[in-house]
Every structure is written in structure tokens, then in C-alpha cells.
Structure 1
Amino acid sequence: MTGTCPHCATATVSIRTAMPWCPDCEWNLDGYDPGRQAPEFGWGRVDRRTHRIAARLNRRQYAVLVDRPLESTGPGTAGAVTAVVSLLLTVGVLALAGLGCWLLFAYPFPNVAVLLGVALIALAVVLRPRFGRLDAELEVLDRSQAPELHALVAQVAAAIGAPVPQVVGVDGSFNAYSTAVGLRRRRVLCLGLPLWGALDGAQRVALIGHELAHFVNGDVRRLLVTQPALTMLGDAADLLRPSPARRADGLLEMVGEAVGRAMSWVLSRLLFGVHLLLVWTALRDSQRAEYLADELAARAAGTDGVRDLLDVLLSGDAVDRVVRQASRAGEGPAAWRSGVALARTAAAARMPLVRQLSVRDEASLFAAHPPAGLRHRMLTARTPQEPTVTLDGRRMERLDVELTRHFDRTARTVVWSG
């Protein structure tokens, strides 16, 4: 306790060196804390202002959604805008390529138009839409290598009404993700083994359920028609960013280089600004999709399972320490889970404050997820759901056994990376 709230006279609180706030009316919880939050633009006033805007938008979105049924209606206005911009950008790149091809053959060879045509074609190739590819760190597991895991993924997919991913794999990160790659949008599920091994049965079901829900919750980041808008302008801005200055041989060359660098910088910043605006628009819609993904995950894991998963993610540093210490002792995922359970029990009294603090710490115009504290509140405010997919001790053991080799390698990596 650090003082008294000026609004409701409740004693204020603070954890993790954070600015104090009121635990009852949440006074000062939306304030910008420069000691804890990394700058996004590098200007103090701008960062402070954008943080307050993000916090206000988070609150507003939560208030709009909390009393409504969370159901997938496809991409909203943000998705439609992103798709239209993607179409226009794709047409523009095709036009560049077409003009370049025309210039190659429009005039007799040799001609300066040929050089311009080659340049336009090269520019179109550089700016072409990217649809993603499998991460090099992802270790793909086919059904013969991990039959129990594949069966669990299929069971959870059926419980929430999502398609089964074509690719299931693992890596060594404290994370999990789902995505779609390639022009055919192959569905990919990746489970980071340090996180996966530290979760109990309900949390594992919740993790899979949340990630698979992204295939049906209208998340604009995973749609084929929105990819150009989310990548092309950023690539163009990088392409036009001025290269390091070199020594000029004369005044005329120095002036010409300075003018060219200035024009490149202005154009690059303009393109990057539009890119940020599009990304920000898409991410606001993605945050809505995250709430829906939690709701769908609760159909499989139950509301308590999803809330427990959020608490584990909020305790990421503690979980990482548990996994690292157990790995140094030569212990596997069973010991990881025991250690995490003990750590969560010890931290149970302060978890409400940790959830509240996430509302401040995770506020950003460029955050793909709403603050974990608001996601936890959303689940608490809705009708509780009972689990439809459960993992008993024997099934958990089978899941761990078939990934033994991968867990052992991950444990060695975790130890050496520490």
C-alpha cells in the first residue's frame, strides 16, 4: 500500500515497482509508466498520448463486448477496409509488372525504356504479396510421430467447431501460435515445449482450443485477402529507407545525394505511417477475435481452464524460472508442472493485482491481444462453461512420452540459454 485514492479514499497499491493505483475504482491504472513500458515512437509525449488512447480503446471495446454474445460474424469494418486496401495494392503491383513488361517490348532494342521496364518488374517482385511460410524453427510432427497429440488436437477442434490444422509442430519457445501459410493457406499449429510441458491438462486443452479458434473467429491477420495490406507497404518503406551516407566527391554530388536522401526519407516515412495505420486498424479487430478465441476455448477446456491458462501466461517469468531450474536438475515436464503449481499457489494472493496491472502494462495501439486482465474479466463476466475435453493422468503421461526426445532437447537448450 502506497497512499490513498483521491476518488474513493481506498488505499492504493503497487507491485513490481509500478506506479500505484486504486484496486477498487482503478484510478491511475491507465496512466503511462515510463519505467515499465518500452517506448513505441521514442517521443515521451507521443508515447504517453498513444498509451492513453490505447487504454481508453481497450476499456471501450471491453464495455461493448462484455454484454453481447461473442460469436464469429466474420471480419468487421476493419477487416473490410484491410481487404479493400489489399486489393488496391495487389492491383498496383500487377500494374507495375504489366507496365514493365510492356516497356520491354514497346520500343526497339536497345532503348532506355528497357532499363525502366526491368526496374519496374524488379520493383513489382520486391513488393509482391507475401503469404508466409513455415518457420525454420518449427519441428513438424506427423501423426505417426505423435498420435496422442494429433488425436487431442482433433478432439478439441471438434469441440469448438474448428478445422483440424494440416501441420502440427513444436519448437523451443515459451509460446504457442496458429497461423496460415502459403497461397493455399495451410493451417499450422505450433506448441512451444517449455510452455506446453508446464501446463496441466485443462490448461493444455485451453491452449489448443484458443489457437484453433483463430481459424474460425474472423481474425484478419490470418485471412488471405488481408495479407498484402499488412505487409506490402512495410516492405516498400524498408526498400525506400535511405542507405548510410557516403563521402561525396564534389559539391554537386553532395547536394544531389542530400536531396535524394531527403526525398527517400520522406517517402519512406509516409509509407511506413500508412502501414502503421493499417496494422493498427487490423489489430483492433484482432483483439475482438482474441476475446472470441477465449470463449471458444472455454467450450473445450471450461471457463476455469482458460482463466488458469491466462494466469500462467501472466506469470511467465516465474514459470520460466521453474522450467529452467527443473531442467538443470535433469527433471522433465512432470516436475515442471509440479513447480508451476507450487509457484501459482504461493502467488495466488497477489494474482488479482497482477491481472489489474496487465491492463496498464499491455495497453498499446499495436498489441494483437487485449490485456490478459481484461480477458480474464470477460470470461468471469460470462456464463461459466464446463469442460467437454479432459485429460487424465494416463493421457497426460502418453502425451509426454511421445515427445520425450523433444522435451530432452528443449531442456538442454533452456539450461544452456540461461
Structure 2
Amino acid sequence: MINTVTDAGVCPECQATTETVRDAVPWCPRCEWNLDTYDPARRAREFGWNWVDRWTHRVASRMTRQQFTHLAGRPLGGKGSNRVRLLTTVVSLLLLAMVLALAIAGGWLIVAFPFPNLAILPGVAMIGLAVALRPRFGRLDPEMEVLSRHRAPELFALIDEVAAAIDAPMPDVVGVDNDINAYATTVGLRRRTVLCLGLPLWGSLSAGERVALLGHELGHFVNGDPRRGLLTQPALIMLGSAADLFRPVRTTVGGGLVEMIGDALGRAFQWTVSRILFVAHLLLVVVALRDSQRAEYLADELAAGVAGTTATSDLLDALLAAESMALVVGRETRAGHGADRWRSAFAESRAANAARLPLLRQLSVRDGTSLFSTHPPIGLRRRMLTDRPWRDSSVVLTEASNERIDTELAKEYERFRRTVSWSA
């Protein structure tokens, strides 16, 4: 239930009435005064200290606004920032070289001296450290149910058409899961491309919005997102893993004075190394995620090229109403209804809240701003899209094809229904 208050006060900048939804700190819907303010009641802590979280939110708000202003009306580019890619690539190569050097040095200490010898201990430790710090390139989510072209030919034909329209590769793996989400990623050293569609999200969208969703997700294979590159992904993971690995843990309980001093010095050293690695990780992530957010804007533009601006902006509004979607899908699923009823019930919910939608778009700018966010706020994504030249759809999903796709997914929808029923 969305609670709208229209008499929260008067804007000191333009004298308009300030408003609030969902008990948020009021702001001015006309000039957006106070929209970027930090609202601790609505945000999860990121660093644990209120003053730090307030400061980082202010920095993130300024960076997000500056990026939006810089990109508005300009080509978004397919490869992103050369400087960001170069930085993350260099850091990744350095980290990989350090891990390889640790493994080689550890192996040399083990075999270089006659057995037994004390060099084996540091050798084993160095190899263990190299294994712990090795890059991870992801793997298929075990919760995802993989689909085959034979099982879902109509869905695969639509994916083929959308991929061809934006010059993106056809995913190596297509699957579904139970999340109100969708994602495209690459996994493993062979960089297998994966497209996963969340059943409650896919089932709740209209035909045009489904095309937009595919256009956006497949766009991640061609939009230069640094989170998916073979030579950029390790830098965004390995420093954080190293910081966690060096985090001090108390290992000595009791003991003499020498043991206590040794433990304290060891933990002080671990804490210092861990903090240095964490700060380096933080700085790199903050820089790289700005380019990741640019890639999200580009993915939206690619989606508009295949589905049209109207359907893509409607998709963003649907994502903004994810909480309502979850309630509607849960209620209709427990009542025994399928995806056709999800769509109609969700459409009714959206129509009932249409008057509040502009406020929710604005509030998303505050709620969705973070130094660690991979996506720009939905409100800014939609504004970026609608401020650009209007696009018509180039790929049309007919209602007949839409129904056939739902028929192909009947088994998966039923599995989801059972999961919801059992968890009720």
C-alpha cells in the first residue's frame, strides 16, 4: 500500500508543495529540492557509521547526477571508457601475476631442498594462498533451469530475432529461475554467455515489455560492461577476496605474555593489510561501476531500438513496481492462476497506482543511488530514455506467439506454482 502525503511542507526553492511516498523524507516534485538527501530510515547501512554512509551517499548522488548530465543527449558508446578498461585490465594482470608468482615460489620451496625441510611449510602456505586468491570466473547458477531449443522453440526464435536486431550473440545457455529478475552474464574461462529469465517477472510482462527485457539483457553482451570482461572481471573480485582473507581473527586464547603480544602484533599486521586491500578494492569498484552504469544506459537504448521507447519505458516502470509484482504473483499463484492472470492482475495494480508513478520514479533516484550500485536509479534510466529521440519497435511479439511461449513454459510455471504453494 503506497501512502502519499501532499501537505508535507513548502519548497524553499520554488514554493511548490513538497510530497512524500512510503514515509520518505519529503522533497519537491517540481524542482527536486531535497531529493538527494540521505534518508537513513530507508537505506541499509553500507559502512556501519551513519556519518560515513551520509557522506558516501552525498558523493554517490553527485557522481550519479554528473554522469547523467554528461551522457544526456550524447552517444553512449559501445565499449565504454578506455581509461577505466585500461585501469581494470592492468590491475587484473598484476593480480594474476602475483597469484602465479606465489604459486611458483611455493612450488619451488617445496621441491628445491631435500625432504624433510622447513621450507615446505612456507611453500605449502604460499600455494594455499595462491589457491585462495585465484580468480573466479563464475559458474551456472544451480537454481537456474536450463531450457533447450527443442523444448521452447518459440522463445528461442524470439531471442534469435532480438539478438540479430542489436547485433548481439545468441546466448550459449538460456534458462529460467524463480526470481523477479533477469540477467545476462558470462561464466567460466570459455566465457559462455548465459541468459536467465525470472519466471514471475517474465510472466507478468506484456508482449512489448518482454521484447524490451530481452533487448536490455542481450545488450549486456555488446555494451562493454567491465563486470563481464575476461581481463577486467578479476580486478573487481580478487582485491575484495584478498581483503577478506587477511581480515584478523583471534586465534590465541589465554597463554603467556609472549603469545599475547605475538597475537596482537599479528592481528595488527593483518588488519593493516586487510584495510589497505579493502580501500584499493573500494576505489577500483567505485571507478569501474561508473562505467557499468553507463553500460546500463546503453542497454536500455538497445532495448528501445528493438521494442520501442514506449515498451522499454513501461518495462522500467514495471521494475519500479517489483514489490507490487511480487504480491500480485504470489496471490494469483496461490489461487491457482497462471501467467495470463499474473499479467492482467499486475496491469490492474499498475493502473490503480498510475497517479503515484511520477513520485515513485523520483524517489527511486534517492533510493537507488549508491557507490556500490551496478545500475543507475530507474528514474534516471527512464528519463535518459524518454529524453532521447523516440524509437519505434523493430521486433514485434504477437499475442499468438506470446501465448505459445507461455505454453512452452507451462512446466516451469507449474514448478514455480508448487514452490510458492509449499512456502505459503
TM-score of the two chains, using structure 2 as the length reference: 0.96
Q: What is the CA–CA distance in structure 2 between the aligned matches of 1:402 and 1:241, rounded to whole Å?
A: 49
Q: State the partner residue of 1:225.
A: 231
Q: What is the CA–CA distance in structure 1 between the aligned matches of 2:368 and 2:133, rounded to whole Å?
A: 32
Secondary structure at 1:40 match in 2: coil
The residue identity in structure 2 corresponding to 1:232 is M
Q: State the partner residue of 1:14.
A: 20
Relative distance call for 1:141 and 1:75 in structure 2 (3 A) is farther
Residue 375 of structure 1: how far off its partner (Å)? 0.4
Secondary structure at 1:215 match in 2: coil
Show structure 1 runs of 5+ residues with no match. none
Q: State the partner residue of 2:140.
A: 134
Q: State the partner residue of 1:280.
A: 286
Alignment of 1:153-192 (within 5 A): 153-192=159-198
Q: What is the CA–CA distance in structure 1 between the aligned matches of 2:161 and 2:380, rounded to whole Å?
A: 28
Matched-pair contact (CA < 8 Å) for 1:76–1:285 = no
The superposition leaves residues 188-221 of structure 1 with CA deviations (integer Å, 9 ceiling, x where unpaired) of 0000101111111011111111000000000000
The answer as to 2:70 corresponding to 1:61 is: no
Q: State the partner residue of 1:299.
A: 305
Q: What is the CA–CA distance in structure 2 between the aligned matches of 1:340 and 1:100, rounded to whole Å?
A: 59
The residue identity in structure 2 corresponding to 1:310 is L
Q: State the partner residue of 2:48.
A: 42
Q: What is the CA–CA distance in structure 2 between the aligned matches of 1:415 and 1:222, rounded to whole Å?
A: 36
The answer as to 2:126 corresponding to 1:101 is: no
Q: What is the CA–CA distance in structure 1 between the aligned matches of 2:386 and 2:423, rounded to whole Å?
A: 37
Q: State the partner residue of 2:315.
A: 309
Matched-pair contact (CA < 8 Å) for 1:172–1:193 = yes
Matched-pair contact (CA < 8 Å) for 2:76–2:294 = no
Q: What is the CA–CA distance in structure 1 between the aligned matches of 2:80 and 2:355, rounded to whole Å?
A: 39
Residue 179 of structure 1: how far off its partner (Å)? 0.3
Alignment of 1:364-403 (within 5 A): 364-403=370-409
Alignment of 1:62-101 (within 5 A): 62-101=68-107
Residue 25 of structure 1: how far off its partner (Å)? 0.8
Q: What is the CA–CA distance in structure 1 between the aligned matches of 2:140 and 2:365, rounded to whole Å?
A: 33
Matched-pair contact (CA < 8 Å) for 1:210–1:293 = yes
The residue identity in structure 2 corresponding to 1:222 is R
Aligned counterpart for 1:290 among listed residues 296, 317, 320: 296
Secondary structure at 1:13 match in 2: strand
Q: State the partner residue of 2:340.
A: 334
Range that drifts further, 105-114 or 366-375: 105-114
The residue identity in structure 2 corresponding to 1:357 is L
Q: What is the CA–CA distance in structure 2 between the aligned matches of 1:417 and 1:29, rounded to whole Å?
A: 38
The residue identity in structure 2 corresponding to 1:175 is N
Matched-pair contact (CA < 8 Å) for 2:80–2:291 = no
The superposition leaves residues 294-330 of structure 1 with CA deviations (integer Å, 9 ceiling, x where unpaired) of 0001111111111001001101111111101100110
Aligned counterpart for 2:412 among listed residues 403, 406, 409: 406
Residue 249 of structure 1: how far off its partner (Å)? 2.5
Range that drifts further, 161-170 or 255-264: 255-264
Q: What is the CA–CA distance in structure 2 between the aligned matches of 1:206 and 1:411, rounded to whole Å?
A: 25
Q: What is the CA–CA distance in structure 1 between the aligned matches of 2:423 and 2:306, rounded to whole Å?
A: 35
Relative distance call for 1:163 and 1:307 in structure 2 (3 A) is same
Range that drifts further, 120-129 or 69-78: 69-78
Q: Percent identity?
A: 60
Q: What is the CA–CA distance in structure 2 between the aligned matches of 1:70 and 1:265, rounded to whole Å?
A: 41
Secondary structure at 2:232 match in 1: helix
Q: What is the CA–CA distance in structure 1 between the aligned matches of 2:114 and 2:85, rounded to whole Å?
A: 46
Residue 99 of structure 1: how far off its partner (Å)? 1.3
Secondary structure at 2:119 match in 1: helix
Residue 159 of structure 1: how far off its partner (Å)? 1.0
Residue 74 of structure 1: how far off its partner (Å)? 4.3
Residue 160 of structure 1: how far off its partner (Å)? 1.1
Matched-pair contact (CA < 8 Å) for 1:75–1:220 = no
Matched-pair contact (CA < 8 Å) for 2:252–2:259 = no
Range that drifts further, 71-80 or 334-343: 71-80
The superposition leaves residues 316-370 of structure 1 with CA deviations (integer Å, 9 ceiling, x where unpaired) of 1111111011001100000000001101111111101100000101110000000
The residue identity in structure 1 corresponding to 2:276 is L
The superposition leaves residues 6-54 of structure 1 with CA deviations (integer Å, 9 ceiling, x where unpaired) of 0111111111100110111100000000111111111111111110111
Residue 254 of structure 1: how far off its partner (Å)? 2.1
Residue 243 of structure 1: how far off its partner (Å)? 2.5
The residue identity in structure 1 corresponding to 2:173 is V
Show structure 2 runs of 5+ residues with no match. 1-5
Q: What is the CA–CA distance in structure 2 between the aligned matches of 1:416 and 1:345, rounded to whole Å?
A: 31
Q: What is the CA–CA distance in structure 2 between the aligned matches of 1:26 and 1:63, rounded to whole Å?
A: 15
Q: What is the CA–CA distance in structure 1 between the aligned matches of 2:287 and 2:153, rounded to whole Å?
A: 40
Aligned counterpart for 2:243 among listed residues 237, 253, 268: 237
Range that drifts further, 246-255 or 376-385: 246-255
Matched-pair contact (CA < 8 Å) for 2:168–2:219 = yes
The answer as to 2:265 corresponding to 1:259 is: yes
Q: What is the CA–CA distance in structure 2 between the aligned matches of 1:225 and 1:55, rounded to whole Å?
A: 29
Range that drifts further, 327-336 or 67-76: 67-76
Structure 1's consecutive aligned runs of 4 or more residues displaced over 4 angstroms after TM superposition are: none
Q: What is the CA–CA distance in structure 2 between the aligned matches of 1:363 and 1:337, rounded to whole Å?
A: 29
The residue identity in structure 1 corresponding to 2:380 is L
The superposition leaves residues 119-165 of structure 1 with CA deviations (integer Å, 9 ceiling, x where unpaired) of 21221111111111111111111111111111111111011111111
Range that drifts further, 254-263 or 77-86: 254-263
Q: What is the CA–CA distance in structure 2 between the aligned matches of 1:291 and 1:76, rounded to whole Å?
A: 17
Count of equivalent residues: 418
The superposition leaves residues 210-252 of structure 1 with CA deviations (integer Å, 9 ceiling, x where unpaired) of 0000000000000000122111111112222223455222222
